Amino acid sequence: MKGSVTLSSMAHVAVLAWGLFSLSGPKPLVVADVEALPIDIVPIEDISRAVQGEKKADLTEKPAPTPTSRPPVDAEARNVGEAKNDKFSEREPKPDNRVPDNQRSEEPPPSADPTPAPDVAPDPIKELVEKNEPTPTTELAALNEPPVPVTEEPTPEAKPEEDAAAEENFPELPKSAPVPEARPKPRSAETTDRKKPEEKPKQRQTASSDDKKSTEDKIANLLLNKEQAAASGAKRSTDQASLGTRQSSNAARLSQSEMDALRSQIQECWNPPAAIGAEELRVSVRFKLDQNGMVDGSPQIMESSGNQAADESARRAVLRCGQQGYRLPAEKYEAWRDVVVNFDPSQLF
Amino acid sequence: MTGMEIFGITPAYAQAIEVSGLSSAGESITLLGLFWQAGPVVKAVMIGLLLASIWSWAIIFDKIFLFMRTRRQLNRFEKVFWSGQSLEELYRSLVDRSTTGMGALFVAAMREWKKSFERGANSPIGLHMRIEKAMDVALARETERLESRLMFLATVGASAPFIGLFGTVIGIMTSFQAIAGSKSTNLAVVAPGIAEALLATALGLLAAIPAVVAYNKFSNDVAKTTARLEGFADEFSAILSRQIDEKTRSQAAE
């Protein structure tokens, strides 16, 4: 036994010694070489959704509408196309054509004095004090008898000089004229000031009634979009036309919660007619909404349930809720401008 | 954007881990370092397990030699016994030496035989029973010699893993207490303590596995050897019984 014990101890010592000197711990883990891969979650929606392009063109890598002839002018414009057809530039003033009209000939050239309107409008009180504004009553008179004052004598400033000194007079006129008509109403409390110049208004009325036409025109003129067609801003496309839809549908879709919100809004207004089976109540209503969430036009029954009362109840629900306007995210207007709502009572009850 | 940010963070994080790993890795991962780092309880457990391993391996070596010797002796004795040699001569050659195995059985039986005939005991049935008793006792003594200390192997095999586990639990407990004290959850703080504690379990398994294997093998060997001895005892008892019958018949004939 002694021999065995010594043999065993020697074996253990040998093994431990070997372990101590040859098993000198594992190599430390090297972590630095591992590179983390950046992972982005890409929704397939972005790819599968239609992109703006041309419906009948060949498919290319990048969809694009038909190229337009002019170079890009305004990147801010909304629609792709020719600027001529752009709605915003249609009502362009044409000063040359209107010359024969005697009153309008006095108009200042559009660029001559665009400032008066902005100058006058923000500061009506100053004008009141300086120029003895007519009271509301005087303004009414002016409105009632516009044809009379034209022939009357007290229009010395405006009439005689219409041919010769048109250019000199106009800097004066816009300042005096446009104000009285525009701002008198809210000032009814300040009548004490206005009673004083009793004699002058007579002249003034006539003058202003005469001026009125011209100033109205002027105002209208000022309000008009006078930019050149080229600058009115159509977004230009320079790429080759390729397959795509007419309108880009890249506008964000309504999320599930937003759809739920719309659904619940409509649901609140819906009183499904009693005594009709759930099967008969399936109605599909299509309606358009404007930017404010108001129903635009009349809702249209896409799929009738076959039951008149049920159809009408669905339509009423849409209209009633639309009275206050649907609360929807404004930035996703593209997604909800045209809505189809399926009324299905099996989800309701 | 976010991808880029994550990407930007990663290298710095990796670097931090690497630096801390390097600082604590160098000195303490060797076996001796782990042992010296351990707490007193874990150290005691490890030393105890080491001693148990040494002792069980001693027993294993001892038993290996014992069984080798025993098997050789049995073979040689059987060869001699069945060679047709006179049993008297064989007895005379063996009686002076200390014998083991079959020799011990043979010597015990022959001694009883001799004693009975020298004293003139004539009852054949009583003689046969006495010889069998003597051989049983000799057999029991032999079996006991073969089986001795095997129970230690069984005990080590059963309990060493638990002892090692105890050391591990204590070690991990203390290392977690240290973490709680240092208020740092860095892996570099936890790792050495856990490694050191796991060393106790490793030692326990290291002691237990050979012990269990050896115990199974040796108990099997003991059973086989005992069966062989019993077989020899039966055969020898049959031979002696025949001789007794022949002697009594010849005595009756005279």
Look up the CATH number of the domain holding residue A325.
3.30.1150.10
DSSP track, A198-246? -HHHHHHHHHHHHHHHHHHHHHHHHHS--S-GGGS--B---SPP-B-BS
Confidence of residue B194 (pLDDT cuts 50, 70, 90): confident
Across the interface, do B7 and A8 touch by the CB < 8 Å criterion?
Answer: no
pLDDT value of position B222: 94
Residue A178 belongs to what domain range?
104-223
Give the closest residue to B104 by CA, choosing from B143, B68, B130: B143
What is the rounded CA–CA span in Å between residue B148 and residue B168? 32
Kindly state whether residues A194 and A260 are assigned to the same domain: no
In a domain, A174, yes or no: yes
In a domain, A95, yes or no: no
Tell me which chain B residue has its CA closest to the CA of residue A14.
B54
Q: Answer with the residue of higher pLDDT: B199 or A110.
A: B199
pLDDT value of position A213: 73
Structure tokens at A66: 């038909």
In a domain, A276, yes or no: yes
**Residue environment code for B82-109, b if the CB has 16+ CB neighbours within 10 A, otherwise e:** eeeeebeebbeebeeeebbbbbbbbbbb
pLDDT value of position A276: 66
Structure tokens at A12: 């253990």
* A contacts of B32 (beta carbons < 8 Å): 20
Kindly state whether residues A199 and A145 are assigned to the same domain: yes
pLDDT value of position A45: 58
Residue that the structure tokens 């003139």 belong to: B120
Alpha-carbon gap: B194 to the closest alpha carbon of chain A (Å): 15
What is the rounded CA–CA span in Å between residue A298 and residue A288? 8
Cβ-in-10-Å burial (0-12, 13-18, 19+) of A30 comes to exposed
Residue that the structure tokens 């963070």 belong to: B9
Structure tokens at A162: 């219409």
- Is residue B66 scored above 60 in pLDDT? yes
Interface of A with B in 116-145 (CB under 8 A): none
In a domain, A157, yes or no: yes
Cβ-in-10-Å burial (0-12, 13-18, 19+) of A29 comes to exposed
Q: Is A10 on the interface with B (CB under 8 A)?
A: no
Indicate left, alpha or beta for B120 from its phi (over 0: left) and psi (-120 to 50: alpha). left
Across the interface, do B30 and A30 touch by the CB < 8 Å criterion?
Answer: no
Boundary (domain end) residue, out of A223, A246, A272: A223
Kind of pairing, strands A338-343 and A295-303?
unpaired
- Mean pLDDT across B159-175: 92
Three-state DSSP at B54 gives helix
* B contacts of A39 (beta carbons < 8 Å): 3
Kindly state whether residues A219 and A281 are assigned to the same domain: no
Across the interface, do A4 and B54 touch by the CB < 8 Å criterion?
Answer: no
- What are the backbone angles phi and psi of residue A133, rounded to the nearest 5°? -60, 145
In a domain, A284, yes or no: yes
Closest CB to B21 among A8, A29, A38: A29
Tell me A54's DSSP state.
B
* A contacts of B36 (beta carbons < 8 Å): none
- Per the prediction, chain B carries an average pLDDT of 81
What is the rounded CA–CA span in Å between residue B60 and residue B210? 9
Alpha-carbon gap: B216 to the closest alpha carbon of chain A (Å): 19
| Dihedral of alpha carbons B201, B205, B206, B211, sign | positive
Q: Answer with the residue of higher pLDDT: B53 or A305.
A: B53
Confidence of residue B89 (pLDDT cuts 50, 70, 90): confident
Confidence of residue B191 (pLDDT cuts 50, 70, 90): confident
Kindly state whether residues A109 and A214 are assigned to the same domain: yes
Closest CB to A36 among B7, B15, B21: B7
pLDDT value of position A11: 92
Query: How many CB pairs below 8 A link A and B?
Result: 68
DSSP track, B121-144? ---HHHHHHHHHHHHHHHHHHHHH
DSSP track, B205-218? HHHHHHHHHHHHHH
Q: Containing H/E element for A185?
A: none
Q: Is B209 on the interface with A (CB under 8 A)?
A: no
- Mean pLDDT across B182-190: 75
Q: Answer with the residue of higher pLDDT: A150 or B76.
A: B76
Length of chain A: 349
Kindly state whether residues A206 and A260 are assigned to the same domain: no
Residue A67's contacts (CB-CB under 8 Å, 6 or more residues apart) are: A237, A238, A239, A240, A241
Kindly state whether residues A314 and A203 are assigned to the same domain: no
Report yes or no: B145 and B70 within 8 Å, Cβ to Cβ.
Answer: no
Report yes or no: B70 and B225 within 8 Å, Cβ to Cβ.
Answer: yes
Report yes or no: A289 and A336 within 8 Å, Cβ to Cβ.
Answer: yes
Q: pLDDT tens across B14-36, in order?
A: 333 333 333 344 445 677 777 88
Closest CB to A38 among B7, B54, B58: B7
Tell me A106's DSSP state.
G
Tell me which chain B residue has its CA closest to the CA of residue A30.
B18
Kindly state whether residues A186 and A275 are assigned to the same domain: no
pLDDT value of position A120: 45
Across the interface, do B30 and A29 touch by the CB < 8 Å criterion?
Answer: no
Three-state DSSP at A80 gives strand
Q: What order do you get walking across the sheet with A283-289 strand by strand?
A: A295-303, A283-289, A338-343
Report yes or no: A105 and A144 within 8 Å, Cβ to Cβ.
Answer: no
Q: Which residues pair with A342 in a beta bridge?
A: A284
Across the interface, do B15 and A12 touch by the CB < 8 Å criterion?
Answer: no
Boundary (domain end) residue, out of A207, A223, A239: A223
DSSP track, A246-314? SS---SPPPPHHHHHHHHHHHHHH--PPTT--GGGG-EEEEEEE-TTS-EEEEEEEEE--S-HHHHHHH
Structural domain count, chain A: 2
Q: Containing H/E element for A35?
A: none
Boundary (domain end) residue, out of A223, A247, A266: A223
What is the rounded CA–CA span in Å between residue B59 and residue A146? 133
Residue B167's contacts (CB-CB under 8 Å, 6 or more residues apart) are: B41, B42, B45, B46, B49, B197, B200, B201, B203, B204
pLDDT value of position B139: 92
* A contacts of B30 (beta carbons < 8 Å): 20, 23-25
Task: Tell me the one-letter amino acid at A150.
Answer: V
In a domain, A316, yes or no: yes
Alpha-carbon gap: B23 to the closest alpha carbon of chain A (Å): 10
Tell me which chain A residue has its CA closest to the CA of residue B18.
A31
Tell me B186's DSSP state.
-
Q: Is B152 on the interface with A (CB under 8 A)?
A: no
Q: How far, CA to CA in Å, does A109 sit from each of A27, A96, A162, A223?
A: 89, 10, 14, 14
* B contacts of A38 (beta carbons < 8 Å): 3-4, 6-7
Least confident of A72-86, B93-107, B181-195: A72-86
Report yes or no: A184 and A134 within 8 Å, Cβ to Cβ.
Answer: yes
Task: Tell me the one-letter amino acid at A16.
Answer: L
Kindly state whether residues A123 and A200 are assigned to the same domain: yes
Cβ-in-10-Å burial (0-12, 13-18, 19+) of A73 comes to middle
- Is residue B63 scored above 90 in pLDDT? yes
What is the rounded CA–CA span in Å between residue B59 and residue B63? 6
Residue that the structure tokens 């022939």 belong to: A151
Mean pLDDT by 10 residues, chain A (349 residues): 89 87 69 67 59 65 66 61 54 52 50 48 50 46 46 47 49 51 50 48 52 78 65 58 60 68 80 70 82 82 80 83 79 79 69
Structure tokens at A48: 């599968």
In a domain, A333, yes or no: yes
Task: Mutation target for A interface from B24, B28, B61, B145: give the one with most A CBs within 10 A.
Answer: B61
What is the rounded CA–CA span in Å between residue A146 and residue A148? 6
In a domain, A325, yes or no: yes
Closest CB to A20 among B6, B31, B62: B31
Q: Which residues pair with A338 in a beta bridge?
A: A288
ipTM above 0.85, yes or no: no
Least confident of A123-127, A134-138, B137-141, B223-227: A134-138
